[in-house]
Amino acid sequence: MPTTAQRQAGPPTRRRILAVGLLAGTVSVAVNLVIRALVLLLLDEPEVPYPLVLPPVIEFTFLPSLLGTLLFLVLRRRTTRPVRWFTIAAVAVVVLSWIAPLVLFLRDEITAGVLLALLVMHTTPAVLLVTALRKTAVRVAEG
């Protein structure tokens, strides 16, 4: 009878990768909501800046995590080094995602504090998802 370690040897299943991606997305939403709450507490203005309105924070945190997970599944089938290519893609997407907050800042539509929060909030899902998928892929490969 195979042991648990022997059963886990080999690549992670699609179901496991999806579960890890969904968990990373959910944790990312929670972290970004905490960041949002802290920024709103520190703002002098009673009005919430558009980029920190609640629905977009949740949507634009969770959906990229889900799409990233699906991308990882595709890369896993198409490349020999999916973790490496996924990490490169995640970095590229994060850098591109910083353009919109930077434009808002340069137009004086948001403050430097809100800009910093948005940059961190855009980075959070990528860091959590890359870390989670790397650990899942490496842990199972070592198993």
pLDDT per position as a tens digit, 81-93: 999 999 999 999 9
Cα–Cα distance, 110 to 112 (Å, whole number)? 7
What's the DSSP call for residue 143? -
pTM: 0.85
Given this model, what pLDDT does residue 9 score?
A: 59
pLDDT (tens digit per residue) in 73-128: 999 999 999 999 999 999 999 999 999 999 999 999 998 989 999 999 999 999 99
List CB contacts of 99: < 8 A, sequence separation 6 or more: none
